[in-house]
Amino acid sequence: MRKYLLFIFFLVSFFSFARVSHTEETDTLSAPSSAQKLLFNFYINSNFSAEKHTHIPSSAAFRIEDARLNLQGSYDDNLSYRIRMRLNRPFTPTSSDNASVGLDFAFLTYTFGKEHQWEMRIGRAYGMIGSYELDINPLYEYIFSDHLNYVVNGFVTVLQAGYRINNRHQIGIQGHNTLNESFGTHLANNGFVPGDFKASKTPLGVYLYWMGTFFENKLHTYYSYDFSQFVQGYYTHSISLGNQLTIGNHSAYLDLIYSHMGADYALLGSKTLNQFEQVVPANYTMRKNMVYKGLISRYQYQFTDHWSIAAKVGVEFSGNQNILSEHHRTNYIYSCAGQYEPFRTEDFRFYVAYIGNTIDYKKELNIPLEQLHRIALGMAYTLPLYKK
């Protein structure tokens, strides 16, 4: 906690000093007036929640579900930056990219061309996954899919190039690390051993993506294909099709996802098969030809300036092309929330929410059903700490 307070103090002191010293020193670059553009936000989601789980004793507690610092701005019309970190995650360095577990992203974006139609990005950033679940403010979500939690790497170190064809279409390519942790660290952290698998010499991947808007910006599409490697000799192919619709006070998204992993570095399906075979957890091994697929959808209706409801459902399948079937584990997520926003000009809301999760296994696995029921009463706020 002391580290977090010192970090916040450093940032505030830095910005105060920058404002005082601006008239005394001139940047070695030709600093335009827009170099002062800056937004510094604090994201907080805190609640009281009570939950019941089939395999874990029931509990109730006051919780901080989410706490993040977000810093973004632009130096001029071409160069911009963004940094976001989680305060309820450790600052432990990640072994692959030398960032940290708590860092969502820290990247620079440079646009160029006659109409700024070209874009380059470098640093840790969003993986260009065709998913609106990843794209929206994380405070708006009450439960996340296995797809984001296990299958894909949402925040990854990248080198990216994009091209805006016109005001409605954008395409691009993003080179990225497959995971933020090295082969050995990733397996050891999850109770797995390499077995017959070896680390790839190039644990990298490439996203190809397209974003489009239609019907006067009512329909947005975000589609991507990813080809990556983490294990020597085995490759992963992933397709993500994100669709978002906004009509009046109604908004919804639908994400369709599919991944085939030659070697299952997501580990979710492999864990199920190791449990079935009664392997000791510290000796789990990855399995070949694992498949992940599913759909995730969220709907929100703002029926007054202050009141809204939000609901989310998802179903995800994991399985193996060689053992049992591609549907040996089914994950259901569902939530419903009533939200009250007292101030029209602030992103501040109180909520009461029900969150549920059911995991069902194929009968042959002889693994019992898992269920979670949670009730949460809390508040979420995007607090603007500094803006200029």
Distance CA 243, CA 219 (A): 7
Q: Within a domain: residue 12?
A: no
In a domain? residue 322: yes
**pLDDT, position 29:** 43
Q: Tell me, what's the pLDDT at 387?
A: 87
**With bands split at pLDDT 50, 70 and 90, how would you rate the model's confidence at 88?**
very high
What is the number of alpha carbons within 13 Å of residue 252 lying toward its C-beta? 10
What are the tens digits of pLDDT across the range 175-204? 999 999 999 999 999 999 999 999 999 999
Q: What is the mean pLDDT of residues 239-246?
A: 98
Over 60: is that where the pLDDT of 336 sits? Answer: yes
Q: Which residue carries 């109604």 as its tokens?
A: 250
Give phi and psi for 240, each to the nearest 5: -130, 125
Question: Residue 25: pLDDT above 70?
Answer: no
Residue 337, domain CATH? 2.40.160.10
The answer to which of 7-16, 113-122, 362-371 has the lowest mean pLDDT is 7-16
Q: Is residue 136 part of a domain?
A: yes
Q: Where are the alpha helices (DSSP H) in the chain?
A: 2-21, 132-135, 146, 183-189, 268-276
**CA-closest candidate to residue 379, choices 344, 338, 349, 341:** 349
Is the residue at 346 inside a domain?
yes
- In whole angstroms, what is the distance from residue 274 CA to residue 312 CA? 31
Q: Tell me the mean pLDDT in the region 70-91.
A: 94
Of the chain, the percentage scoring pLDDT greater than 70 comes to: 91
Residue with tokens 């279409």: 169
Among 170, 148, 169, 153, smallest CA distance to 161 is for 170
pLDDT confidence bin for 326, thresholds 50/70/90 = confident
Domain for residue 31, yes or no?
A: no
Q: Is residue 271 in a domain?
A: yes
What total of structural domains would you count in the chain? Answer: 1
- Provide the token pair at 123: 């640093």
Neighbours of 298 (CB within 10 A): 22
pLDDT of 47:
98
Query: What is the pairing mode between strands 37-53 and 250-263?
Result: unpaired
211 exposure class (CB count in 10 Å sphere: 0-12, 13-18, 19+)? buried
Domain-embedded: residue 7: no
Average pLDDT of span 368-374: 96
First to last CA, the chain: 28
Least confident of 6-10, 172-176, 183-187, 292-296: 6-10
pLDDT of residue 1: 45
pLDDT at 5: 44
pLDDT at 325 exceeding the cut of 60: yes
Q: Please count the other Cβ atoms lying within 10 Å of the Cβ belonging to residue 94.
A: 20
From CA 176, how far away is CA 191, in angstroms rounded? 25
Per-residue pLDDT, 33: 52
Share of the chain above pLDDT 90, in %: 86
- Within 13 A of 276's CA, how many CA atoms are on the CB side? 18
Average pLDDT rounded to a whole number, residues 59-86: 95
Residues in the chain: 388
Domain assignment present for 132: yes
Within 13 Å of residue 244, how many CA atoms lie on the same side as its CB? 19
The answer to whether residue 263 scores a pLDDT higher than 80 is yes
Higher pLDDT, 241 or 27: 241
Structural domain of 241 = 47-387
What is the model's pLDDT at position 21? 40
Q: Work out the burial of residue 337: count CB atoms within 10 Å of its CB; fewer than 13 is exposed, 13-18 middle, 19 or more buried.
A: buried
What is the overall mean pLDDT for the chain?
91
With cut-offs at 50, 70 and 90, classify the pLDDT of residue 27: very low
Is the pLDDT confidence value at 9 over 90? no
CB within 8 A of 118, min separation 6: which ones?
A: 111, 112, 161, 162, 163, 164
